Amino acid sequence: MAIARIGVIGGGAWGTALAVAAERAGRPAVLWARETETVRAIARDRANPRYLPGIALDPGPGATTDLAEAAACDAVLLVVPAQFLRGVCRTLAPLLPGGTPVVVCAKGIELGTGALMTEVVTAELPRNPVAVLSGPTFAAEVARGLPTAVTLACADGEIGRSLAEALGSLSFRPYWSADLVGAEVGGAVKNVLAIACGIVAGRGLGDNARAALITRGLAEIVRLGVRLGGRPETLMGLSGLGDLTLTCTSMQSRNTSLGMALGQGRTLDEILAERHSVAEGVATSRAVTDLAARLGVDMPICAAVDTILARGGAIDETIAALMSRPLKAEGA
C-alpha cells in the first residue's frame, strides 16, 4: 500500500520527534497537539520548547489542533500517554476512515483492564489495521537525526513493510516483525524496571546491582511476554533487550531519573509536580503487577516497584525483601 502522508496524534516529545522522522523520510507529517501554544510554536518557530527544548525541528512538520486533519492521512501514529489512549481513540473513531493503518507508539499497560495498547486500539478502532512501533529511542536524539533503529510490528506483512518504508531514512531504521505482543511487552515493562534502576542509582547501591536488575528484569519481561503469546526472540531484540538497556542506563530516561530522585529521598508527588512529561512506568507498575498476579507470572522486581510507588513500601525494606527471596536456579 502507498503511504504518502502521515498523521501523528500527540504533540509531546516523542510525537514531535516521529513527525520530524516522517518528514526526513519524505512523508509530509501532520502533527496534532491538544495545546494551541505547541501548534503555534511549531508553525512559527519550528520548535517545541515545552517538550523538546533547544532542538530545532528541521524539517518541521505541519501542526494542527484539528484532529480530523491528522486523521485524513494515509497512516496515523498514536503517540499519546498509555492511560489516555482509549479516550483519544474514541474521539478519533468517527474521524478515521476504515482501513487506515494505526501505529501504536505508546508504551504501557492499561490500568484496571490490564489490556495491552493494541487491545485498546482494536476495541476502539475495529475497522483499522494495527501496528506497533517500539525500541530504544530517546525523542531528542531522533529529532536531531541521530542514528536510531526500532521494531515495527504488524500482523499484515504488506502493511508492515509499507509502514517501515514510509518511516525509514538514513537516520531512522525500522525492522519489521509480526510479533505485536512481544514488541509491546518489552516497551511497557522496561519503564518499570528503569524506575528500579534509578532507585538503585539514587541509593548508591552500585553498578553490580544495576546489572543484576537489568538481567533479572529481562527474565521478567520474557516470562510475561511468552505467557501472553509473544516470541522470546522478539524480547531479545530492539523492542526488548535494546529498549531495556537504553532506558535503564541513562538519566535521559524519565523513568530512570524519577527512580533516582526517589532513591535520593524525594517523594513521588514532589517529582511528578515538577514534570510536563509522563513517566509511563508509574502507572504501568501497578498495571503489570496486577496482570502478572492474574496470570500467575512471577515478576518480583515489578512488584517491588509497585510496592514503593503505590503501596507505601519503604525503599530499603523493599530491597531487602527482594534480596532475601529463596535461592533458585537462574533459569527458573
Closest CA to 132 of 158, 101, 165: 101
What's residue 212's pLDDT? 96
What's residue 275's pLDDT? 86
Per-residue pLDDT of the chain (332 residues; tens, 9 = 90+): 789 999 999 999 999 999 999 999 999 999 999 999 999 999 999 999 999 999 999 888 999 999 999 999 999 999 999 999 999 999 999 999 999 999 999 999 999 999 999 999 999 999 999 999 999 999 999 999 999 999 999 999 999 999 999 999 999 999 999 999 999 999 999 999 999 999 999 999 999 999 999 999 999 999 999 999 999 999 999 999 999 999 999 999 999 999 999 999 999 999 999 987 888 999 999 999 999 999 999 999 999 999 999 999 999 999 999 999 999 999 87
Which ranges of 11-146 does DSSP label H, i.e. alpha helix? 13-24, 36-45, 67-71, 85-92, 117-124, 139-144
Cα–Cα dist 136/144, whole Å: 15
Residue 107 bears catalytic tag: no
Closest CA to 298 of 231, 199, 227, 240: 227
Number of residues in the chain: 332
What's residue 23's pLDDT? 96
CATH class assigned to 181-323: mainly alpha
6-178 topology per CATH:
Rossmann fold (3.40.50)
Amino acid (one-letter) located at 297:
V
Cα–Cα dist 88/110, whole Å: 14
What's residue 331's pLDDT? 80
| Domain ranges for the chain | 6-178, 181-323
Which ranges of 104-231 does DSSP label H, i.e. alpha helix? 117-124, 139-144, 157-167, 180-202, 207-227
Cα–Cα dist 165/25, whole Å: 8
Q: Dihedral, CA atoms, 94, 106, 309, 317, nearest 10 degrees? A: 150
DSSP 326: P
Of these residues, 86, 190, 210, 286, which one is catalytic? Answer: 190
3-class SS at 75?
A: strand
